[in-house]
Structure 1
């Protein structure tokens, strides 16, 4: 059923001291999912249009045809939302990790170039934004390799991190076996990085978050206004900051171009960055920086 065994114990009552740079209590990782142009579409040979994470919540996908409304909502993320997020992060001088779908980058090379010019970390997020659970292993392996090539060519540097999101039982082993990745983030089980076994050797996991994530704007009973998301981000940060006085923690913030890139939502990102700067005690870092710190400070046993 799966190559991964469940670990429900983790670090237990005594997690390691993260020793973040500068004595920070919280390592804050901002993540932007760049998926627009890689979603399901009959133009790509898919059976249906995309039915997930768009503004018409709960609308069924169109079978055997295009949904032009949904296509245009995704296009907004690439055409306008990305650049609004880019301006906001530039105003704060905040580092970012991008989970980039390879085909989405190819559809908008100007955005890929802007990511590289900004010095953002660009991690792999699949060749396309699809569910890989039923994709043959050899196809998934080829998609990983092709995404590595695409990011390197368009951004200027190969990815060292990976996040599929909708994984297969083979994903982690294939990522570890590729040989060029420091970490993957296909996990939500902890507030700190940790090691697992993949391909017969230790493999670093930098866990992600779906609670401090703008995708909750597009699910039932999720966020409605920017204030909803901002309040949740601030509450999360303040809890981790307080705990971090003794045991520093990590916080992930998940975003999407077509979601928080909307004018009525961007204030959540702007307000959160202002709050973090005013409160102090945070190391705002890319996931690559967090992974390299963990590998150096807490190397795997043996």
Structure 2
């Protein structure tokens, strides 16, 4: 069966051949059109390191950095002037139980992930932030707090991003080169600022299932696409999926992308949040899913900084 892109190329060639053939009597020229019958090049389906399908896992480190009375599973009906103590304990679970449990699970699976860290959460739980890096995972920036950065001025946003990066560097020693805005809502200046601050990539984009490069401030800048389809905060909290529904959705996503990866470069993104993905049943779900995925030939789990660097090095990476 012909894949869609090959079909489009072949259809285009046939149309061109027909136009040329019909134009011959008028032009009075003899052309055999042999060049039109050449088989189109196969698209580069392999990653630079030979992977068939790359899986990118995010672990959001946000708890402890949330504002007062932040969104939670509890009814949003707190009276003004009172603190939502129940919601506070929900967030505390993220750093007391969730991340430690996920870290042990990643070790069991032999998987390295990218942790998007809110600066104020890092400062509140420095030992945990450092442990994430010490266990071989990437620390990526996620703002200094949960502020709405797309409304900030250029200078205020730059300061906001830098403060978050500095917090990660001071506590973990890691130089963050990847960025994720709160709910992916970056502003018009965000990419320019990230490029100025030495970042290599951002993830606030849902438009592709593979990384791509664009020019920012005249330099190459990578987008490593994120996900809402395989995201615990969207599915478990947002849509009230059961664990079985979550497993089924993520598995079906994997199966389709793995099939496509035979002919196209594919990346799958999966996202876990500290207070959601670190619950016992979700850790079991991740174990079941990743064990299934790792049985497939050519599947590799990679940190997002690794994906970004590989995309920059590969001359066949898509450019927008």
The TM tier, using the shorter chain, reads 0.7 to 0.9
User: Secondary structure in 2 aligned to 1:143?
Assistant: helix
RMSD: 2.0
Aligned mates of 1:295, 1:20 — CA distance in 2: 12
1:300 Cα deviation (Å)? 8.1
What is the 5 A alignment of 1:123-134?
123-134=140-151
CA distance in 2, matches of 1:263, 1:129: 26
**Count of aligned pairs:** 276
User: Partners in 1 of 2:312 and 2:306 — Cα distance?
Assistant: 10
Residue 171 of structure 1, CA deviation: 1.5
Measured against aligned partners, the alpha-carbon deviations of 1:160-184 in whole angstroms (never above 9, x if no partner) come to 1111123222222211221x21111
The reply to whether residue 105 of structure 1 matches residue 127 of structure 2 is no
Q: What does residue 190 of structure 1 align with?
A: 208
Q: CA deviation at 1:208?
A: 0.6
- Number of the residue aligned with 1:272: 289
| Deviation, structure 1 residue 61 | 6.0
Q: Which has the larger radius of gyration?
A: 2
Structure 1, unmatched stretches of 5+, are 1-12, 42-48
Whole-angstrom CA distance in 2 between matches of 1:66 and 1:115? 30
Unaligned runs of 5+ in 2: 1-7, 10-41
Contact residue 223 and residue 229 of structure 1 kept, 8 A: no
Segment drifting more, 25-34 vs 291-300: 291-300
By how many angstroms is 1:89 displaced? 0.6
- Post-superposition CA distance 1:224-262 (Å, at most 9, x none): 322111111111111000010111200000110100111
Work out the CA distance in 1 between the residues paired with 2:100 and 2:162. 28
Deviations 1:204-238 (A, max 9, x none): 1111111111012111xx24322111111111111
* Cα distance, 1:186 vs structure 2: 1.0
Mapped pair 1:232 → 2:232: no
Q: CA deviation at 1:129?
A: 2.2
TM-score (norm 1): 0.85
Query: Hey, what does 2:67 align to over in structure 1?
Result: 40
TM-score for the superposition, normalised by structure 2: 0.81
Instruction: Report the structure, 1 or 2, having the larger helix content.
Output: 2
Q: Secondary structure at the match of 2:111?
A: coil
- Aligned structure 1 segments of 4 or more residues deviating by more than 4 angstroms: 13-16
For the 8 Å contact 1:243–1:249, the answer to whether it is kept is yes
Query: Residue 113 of structure 1 contacts residue 155 of structure 1 at CA under 8 Å; is this kept in 2?
Result: yes
- The offset of 1:17, in angstroms, is 2.5
Task: Specify whether residues 31 and 18 from structure 1 end up closer, same or farther in structure 2 by C-alpha distance, changes over 3 A only.
Answer: farther
